[in-house]
Structure 1
Amino acid sequence: MSPLSPDGPPAEAFAYRLVRLREEVGLSLAEVAAASGYSEQALAHATDGHALPAWELTSAYIAACGDNPAQWRPWWDHAKATATAAPAPAPVAATTTTGTALRFSSSPRARWGVGIAFLLVVLVVLGFVLWPKGGGGGGGSVPDVATDLPTCSGATSATLTVAASVDKSKQLAELAGSYGPHEADGQCVKVDVTSVDSGTAMVALARGWAESDGRKPDVWSPAGSAWLPLARARATPETKALFPDKPGPAIATSPSTIAMPEPMARALGWPDTAFGWADLASWAGDPHFWAGKGHPEWGAFKLGKTNPNFSTSGLNATLGAVFSTVGSIRELRPDDVDKPEVAERLKAVEHSVVHYGKTTLTFLANLRQADTDEAGAPAYISAVTMEENSVVAYNAGYPCGSYSDDEGCAKTDPPKTKLVALYPKEGVLFSDHPFITLNGVEGAKKAVADDFLAYLHSETVQREFAKYGFRDFKQQPVDPDGPAYGWLPKATIKTLGSPPDDVLSKVLSSWPALRKPANVLVCIDSSLSMDEKVPGTGATKLELVKPAMRQLADGFDDTDRVGLWKFSSGIGAGGSDFVPLVPIGTMDGARRQDIAANIDGLQANGATGLYDTIDAAVDLVRGTYDLNSINAVVLLTDGVNDKARGIQLPTELLDAIKAKDQAGEKPVRVFTIAYGSELDADGKAGAQALETVSKGTGAKKYDAKDPTTITNVVIDVLSNF
């Protein structure tokens, strides 16, 4: 046992934790020395408790013990800051924290727990005295930061609502809880953070925020400043006055990068070789690209890119390709977007896309799935356009590339195949996460908004953002020598200028003609359960779904090819479970009308013949396969497979799909919509079955368990095309 005491001075208490970590994973000091690259004598000195060891040695020691150094850095920083101070007094009361940033992570070699009482002792020794903030909300805690306004302990009389992009909303909500209510102009104002992706918030604010959009924001923080001029351009006469002329200061920043599985990047010469959008465009046009690099098993070059109408990374990637073609790093004009060479490069980049998405979550979730398969992550995708912070967070074990409460996003072990960030040599755009106080916010709310921004800009809070991969609000890395993996914090980055408002609008309006088209079969469940009434609406599930599915059909472009099926057991020819309503074909005006009329004419009957329908739908899309399109099935169902014959399990379905395309030359992605709550009634686990099918085909499952949300879910589905 260690002779050190957890009640000693900060250096001794920290050494106690280091020794305890090594003992609990069952390693000798000699074994840690061999794994860390430091001598046994150096490690013995570092853990004798007389002085705090250097971070470089500490980081290597922790990693050698199988734990994550990033989770220990805040404790080391605070121990260093208080090493010469007297021990902190015990608090009268303490609160626990739901945030993960300040807790020790579980080692992959051994899951070790710390009792609450023992944890509080360590927190006190290291100076993390978690005093309950007067009236503060729940969430994570950070060391106190003094701001100009006083805190208030009485009942709150006003709320400052902040609509934040999904990649930082959970962390911002926890920081708002730590900030607590503050007093201004005689009012006690609390800060409340809601999560909404940048493009969706832009559309809602521009058309007029509705009750169905959630709480109306006083402050808007999209991932990038470009969304503000786009909102102004789309605003109605009534909403135009809402938007300030200029975006507010950045909260934190992150450069837009091309993320690539590390083995692929190293095969191209990373980190010594620089790449750009011109390279990406040429790689995309070569179906034998990876074979030429000695890796035929990786197939063609495949790109993941988010939809620029919704996602900042997708918008920045599109703009980056325009900048690179024009040859400018500062100036763009609207007529630049019309140049043939710009259209040619954009189309080359877009046509290497496997599919689009509203956020990078779909790509990262599928990467984690592929990471567990025999073929590994490179078999799924070659590169994804995303922010640097998502690369760092993904490598640290956050499957969604951010600190998030979303399903499947909880922190886990780091991936086997890490991602690395490539910084386009032509230049990068920064996601600057602006703090935009909307016009009309005055008095106490405006004062608290300014005070909260000052709190976010403090050095202590900027370090909190850095834990999840962000740079500071001045675009500088907070800890360039830290343990984060996959980024190049000391690399020279050429920063592109902010495009004018008219260029931004022109790029988005031109994108539909340049994007990769879709070859899609839409399948709608018409089983008898779709005739059930939805409480509080007076309508059946089928009646609610009809306008939403018409919207889905209308969302496809004239360059897309779309078809329509309905399905329920035994309704088709020869007892099949589906009826073709509109064959797959070019989405011209006549086809739009035909699809709309058939959706309106749907009637509910029969049981749910799910898996055989999906199998046949994939076969049909393969029969009309287009190498230059996104080939997919979009299927909506409110039930589980009710048939006693045919394919019975989602894994059996995936085996059948893969058996017909063993070489993987015609992948068809199955995007599913879990509609209504009956899928999981009585332990059926129908939603999980759809998740298995979608993930197994490199797609995504969407939830509309509340049938009244189906319209918003359809918008999310459309973002993939």
Structure 2
Amino acid sequence: MGRHSLPDDRAARPAGPRPPRRRGVAIATALVLTVVAGAAVAVATGALSSGGACADVPVRLRLVASPDIAPALRAVADRARADRVTSDGRCLDVRVVARDNYRVASALSRGAAAPDFEIWVPDSGLWVDRAESVGDAASLTPAGNVALSPVTLAAVPATAAALGWPRKTYTWAGLTTAAAERDRRLLGAADPARSATGLLALTSIARSSRDGGPGGDTRAAATAKLLSQRVTDSDGQVLRTLAEDDSGAEKGNPRRNEAVLLSEQAAFVHNSGGNGAASLQLFYPTDGAPALDYPYNLVDESELTTDESRAAMRFMALLTDDASYRTLEDHGFRAGAADAPVDAALVGTAGGRAPQPYDTDDARPPTAEEVRRTLGLWTVTVQSARLTTVVDASGSMEAPVPGRGGQSRMDVTKASLLQALAQFTPEDEIGLWKFATRLDGAKDYVKVRETARLGDAAKGGGTHREELSDAFSALEPVPDGDTGLYDTALAAYEEAQASYVKGKFNAVVLLTDGTNKDARSISRAALVSRLRALADPTRPVALIGVAVGPDADRAAVHEIARATGGAGYEVSDPGDIQAVILQAIMAVGEEKP
């Protein structure tokens, strides 16, 4: 642990927006550098001016922002119009619209229609990763971070005092356990599938639980189960679940939360409201408070005009001036350059007090694997799944996987499926098909195991989970077998629709490393048409397609999946299948109203 900043130690440690994160996607790097360099030269030469006359036609940009930061960005945009701030001699006209982060990420990942905005500022880079996770995603070009807000646990005064605030400090695991150890302490959170605050907090709790020794995953799952019983759709809604005064559960308020997982900024807004609600007091865990980082992204940058690109960068530059910093801080955000001190008044208003640590430098950002693992944990905790797993068993699955010591695609696929299986509960239902060409007479597919509850007893003894594990382990490529993709996809989807179970997440998970090679099968166009006709919003079954390796028909996988309301994914290494399945379940499931 490093040393922590305290509200009465204002200049001790810097805080502020972190530099743009490196993302594992291809971006138009040269173009970004050109735009940024051009903007820098223009500022130096006065081409991007503030005030004065400007051309009759302004540069209009649409900026979609996370609902919490949208008011602050709108205030900066209004000031820019009032001050006649210009870009290349044209007035800057930025219109800010608030939209839910998860909805924007979902729409961008589908890439079905051109976005109606040029700039996106979600509350976390997690949403950028989510938006870019599918092959059809819109292009996002990172251009910096606007603000910062740590994720904390906020408690009403009586509960905070019972937990020893402000003198007593906790790890994430210790804090959430203490906050929920008695019935009267009711702990709430926003849905980690729809809230970066909820996801970052749950990821930190899971990491802290694992760091606490054996049984960490069990403890993390117990916390997830607890949160799932008192979850809301959004951060704004979770605030409305709090006790309206300090009466708590002991004075006739039994269903109100007394503590919630919350951002510092949300607590600042709550405590500044002056509506008589109890002021929240914040705990910043000693193993690090992760932070919302508000990344600034150009959307489909290659489609923007030069004027639009330069104006977008001009607005980003405007967000780093002193007046904008004051605006952001007035709305409860940490803002400023890397060496700017933490605003003690801001933290104090939000409910932070010494010796509660609140420096985010000690919080290691979660890895992509940790986030996927948390999403998987949340999925199987909150909603049971009914999955028909359909595995390509064609001869090409014998091909070795680079860097895997001679293991074949099938070997690595089986290991990844077994890892995924371990994530599901006894209530989840999973089945297994395999396919190649003409495995069963004229059929390209064979049903290896029925889709059934993992906890059910198997006919030969043991459980369905054990039976399925043996079936995964026994999968082998069919010598000289080709890929009968289209007929298999249709048959598996038809059966999944016919055996739909209400109240569960129903899906077909289709894994393939090739292209359809059955000349007698249904055509791709006919398959897509048939799947669209079968898809029923009252009985939703998503087809999740995973194209494995360089020879897979990625375009077909994406088109087939989209026809059902599902999603297509690509993995170069079959070892990533387990993570993608859990990610896909969460991504597709979150689109439900």
TM-score, normalising length from structure 1?
Answer: 0.43
More strand, by proportion:
2
Cα 1:183–1:278, aligned 2, differ >3 Å: closer, same or farther? closer
Tell me how far apart the structure 2 counterparts of residues 415 and 515 of structure 1 sit (CA, whole Å).
34
Is residue 221–residue 381 contact of structure 2 (8 Å, CA) maintained in 1? Answer: yes
- Count of aligned pairs between the two proteins: 353
SS at match of 1:437: strand
2:334 is matched by which residue type in structure 1?
A: R
1:171 matched to 2:36? The reply is no
- Aligned match of 1:487: 352
Match for residue 386 of structure 1? 262
Deviations 1:335-372 (A, max 9, x none): xxxx9844312212122224222212222223265669
| C-alpha distance in structure 2 between counterparts of 1:503 and 1:166, whole Å | 26
SS in structure 2 at match of 1:367: coil
* Structure-2 change in CA distance of 1:481 and 1:369 (3 Å): closer
Residues 163 and 196 in structure 1, CA contact (< 8 A), matched pair in contact too: yes
Rounded to whole Å, the distance in 2 between the matches of 1:381 and 1:456 is 36
Structure 1 match to 2:326? 463
Aligned-residue sequence identity (percent) comes to: 24
Is 1:282–2:185 an aligned residue pair?
no
Distance 1:156 1:182, change over 3 A: farther
Deviation at 1:188, TM superposition (A): 4.3
How far residue 224 of structure 1 moved from its aligned partner, in angstroms, is 1.1
Distance 1:285 1:392, change over 3 A: closer
Matched, 1:256 2:132: no
Q: In the superposition, relative to structure 1, how do residues 326 and 367 fare at CA in structure 2: closer, same or farther (>3 Å)?
A: closer
Residue of structure 2 in register with 1:317 after alignment? 201
Q: Which amino acid aligns with 1:206?
A: S
Taking the aligned partners of 1:189 and 1:416, their CA distance within structure 2 comes to 40
User: Who is 2:313 aligned against?
Assistant: 450
Partner Cα distance (1:194, 1:511) in 2:
30
Q: 2:185 aligns with which of 296, 301, 311?
A: 301
Distance 1:380 1:464 in 2: 33
1:336 paired residue number: none
CA distance in 2, matches of 1:516, 1:280: 26
Instruction: Please show how residues 410-429 of structure 1 align to structure 2 within 5 Å.
Output: 413-429=274-290
Structure of greater relative contact order (alpha carbons < 8 Å, 6+ residues apart):
2
1:199 is the counterpart of 2:199 = no
Which amino acid in 1 is paired with 2:381? L
Q: C-alpha offsets along residues 693-712 of structure 1, whole Å, 9 cap, x if unaligned? A: xxxxxxxxxxxxxxxxxxxx
1:383-425: CA deviation from partner (whole Å, max 9, x where unpaired): 111100111110111xxxxxxxxxxxxxxx3434211111112
Is contact 1:285-1:348 (8 Å) kept? no
Alpha-carbon contact 1:281-1:345 (below 8 Å) kept: no
Distance apart, 1:216 and its partner CA:
1.9
What is the CA–CA distance in structure 1 between the aligned matches of 2:341 and 2:269, rounded to whole Å? Answer: 15
- What residue identity is the alignment partner of 1:447? R
**Residue 89 of structure 1: aligned partner:** none
**Alpha carbons 1:156, 1:189 under 8 Å: kept:** no
Q: Are 1:224 and 2:124 an aligned pair?
A: yes
Shift of 1:202: 1.0
Q: What per-residue deviation string (whole Å, max 9, x for no partner) do you get for residues 71-93 of structure 1?
A: xxxxxxxxxxxxxxxxxxxxxxx
What is the letter of the counterpart of residue 285 of structure 2?
Answer: P
The answer (yes or no) to whether the contact 1:189–1:448 under 8 Å persists in 2 is yes
Q: Give the alignment's Cα RMSD to 1 decimal.
A: 4.0
Find the counterpart in structure 2 of residue 243 from structure 1.
Answer: 140
Q: Residues 391 and 560 (structure 1 numbering): CA distance in 2 closer, same or farther, change over 3 Å? A: farther
1:366 aligns with 2:238: no
What pairs up with 1:18-37 in 2 under 5 angstroms?
Answer: none
1:513 is paired with a residue whose SS is helix
* Partners of 1:351 and 1:516 within 8 A in 2: no
Q: Is the 8 A contact 1:347 1:516 kept in 2?
A: no
Partner of 2:170, secondary structure, is coil
The structural deviation recorded for 1:219 is 1.3
- 2:378 paired residue number: 511
Instruction: Look up the equivalent residue of 1:344 and give its one-letter code.
Output: T
Whole-angstrom CA distance in 2 between matches of 1:270 and 1:516: 35
Change (3 A) 1:384 1:284: closer
Residue number in structure 1 paired with 2:297? 436
Normalised by the length of structure 2, the TM-score is 0.52
In the TM superposition, what are the counterparts of 1:53-64 in structure 2 within 5 Å?
none
Q: Compared with structure 1, are the counterparts of its residues 155 and 310 closer, same or farther at alpha carbon in structure 2 (3 Å cutoff)?
A: farther
Q: Which runs of 5+ in 1 are unaligned?
A: 1-55, 57-145, 290-298, 329-338, 398-412, 519-556, 562-584, 597-714
Question: Offset of 1:253 from its aligned partner?
Answer: 0.9
